[in-house]
Amino acid sequence: MKKYCILDSYVYPDSDFHQEKEILEAAGYTVEIGNCHTAEEIVEFAKDAEVIGVVYLPITEEILGSLPNLKAVVRYGVGYDCVDVEACTRHQVFCCNQPDYCLEDVASLTLAMLLDLTRKITFFDRSCRRGEWNVAYGYLSHRLSSLTMGLIGFGNIARTVYSMIRPLGIQMIAYDPFLPEDCFARMGCERVTLDELYARADVISVHVPYRKATHHLIDHAAIAKMKDGVMLINTARGPIISQDALIKGCKSGRITAAALDVVEQEPIHDTAHPLYQCDNIIVTPHVAYNTVEAADMLHRKAAETAVCVMNGEIPYNRVNLR
């Protein structure tokens, strides 16, 4: 019987993976729930699998070459930087992500961070807890309608962000070199170059995938091109922004404030970490996707992708072998 093996189930300790079991078993397939930590454990556990599901474990050329029956890698999430996609292609294995399971959820956290930064909610809370009760604490606040927000990337999540935030009156611009012009026109969003975005945006929000080309996309040179007092939001991937450049910008005042749901190296347990020493940086522990509804959809879509592949069909959410 064809088998779907979930490799690192311990990432979701509260899940019993009932959706995967129900959907796969109804289609006549088997599900096995694993707790792998090493490449050797993956190969042993999934040696007969046609499809594997993974959250964070690296899926390498070595692993792919050791799983002769493998037809697809299903990534539990939007990003798939833990999977060697080029190796998947060489082995004729689909790499599939879940591109649409948490659009509203990531967008709503982006909105929350925008409001938090512009109205200084977290910063005022910290000040009050120190007994200061200072209405003039920190930087100046501005009306949303006076600001321009720039979106780096204009994919599914960014377009959801645009639809959610634009009605608040903030002017919005976006940069994405890969989309056709009509994608921007349909949304009514002004398309700009990256340098134009840096020069015009009061708030910049990052919505690109993490690749070699986007590693430290925002670095010292990029920050030097931005408006003085810019605010940064990152709900994409941590290494897209250079941590050193961000901290330097926040300490110098070049960057007024930043809100990060992702950081270069996760998790951060050290309370003396440099990011935590900057009072104008807000950090959340990679939770943009984390709602009950998104989790439910993630498990269902992962199971449906596995069934699709085992049925001999081409999955809509493949990122290779197009």
Phi-psi region of 202 (alpha: psi -120 to 50; beta: other; left: phi over 0): alpha
Would you call 237 a catalytic residue per the annotation?
Answer: yes
Phi-psi region of 133 (alpha: psi -120 to 50; beta: other; left: phi over 0): left
Catalytic residue among 86, 266, 293, 313: 266
Contact between 149 and 202 under an 8 Å Cβ cutoff? The reply is yes
Catalytic residue among 91, 273, 286, 300: 286
The alpha carbon dihedral of 242, 248, 250, 253 has a sign of: negative
**Does residue 267 have a cis bond before it (omega within 30 degrees)?**
yes
* The two structure tokens encoding residue 222: 């990029």
Would you call 132 a catalytic residue per the annotation?
Answer: no
Would you call 22 a catalytic residue per the annotation?
Answer: no
Q: State residue 218 phi and psi, 5-degree precision.
A: -100, 105
Catalytic residue among 237, 264, 304, 318: 237
| Cross-strand bridge partners of residue 151 | 174, 205
Q: Indicate which residues carry an active-site annotation.
A: 237, 266, 286
